[in-house]
Amino acid sequence: MKRLLLALSLASLAGAAAAQAPTRIMTLTRTVKIFSELENQLDEARRNHDEVALAKLLAANFEQRNGTAPAAPTPRADWLAQTSAPKSDISQMAVHEYGNVAVVSFADAAQRAFVVDVWNKSDDHYALSVRYLSAANSASQTQPENPAK
């Protein structure tokens, strides 16, 4: 009788474990760590008007391009003059490196935006050259079907 109860208990536990959806464990890559730190340094320098840090982190020809007005980029000086920018709340970052160029994308909950930053490496540091900013809503997005399947 005890063996039967033990077998039924194990079977129900195995069934419950199998019924749970598999979870994805996210790992922090080296490049995501590096660019998370750079993005946080940039955000802090901008909010604190730290000209020394901004000179290192922003390229001289930096511009921001918005999805709502793609033909009217915001130049560096105008971007820095914007004082209403909230503290960034970055998540879902991905980094793609192409030689001396890194393309960094992430969601910024504070701005309700999807951001793509293009960083250029010169000597021993990266400088942000261009930021692409597009509004993001909180609705869940469906994945498009892969036509190669």
The model's pLDDT over 72-129, given as tens digits with 9 standing for 90+, comes to 999 999 999 887 778 889 999 999 999 999 999 999 998 899 999 999 999 889 999 9
30-135 in CATH: which number? 3.10.450.50
The residue written with tokens 């597009």 in the block is 134
Express each pLDDT in 40-87 by its tens digit: 999 999 989 899 999 999 999 999 999 999 999 999 999 998 877 788
What lies within 8 Å, CB to CB, of 17 at 6+ separation is none
Per DSSP (E only), the strands in 1-149 are: 58-66, 69-75, 90-98, 101-108, 113-122, 125-135
pTM for the predicted model, two decimal places: 0.74
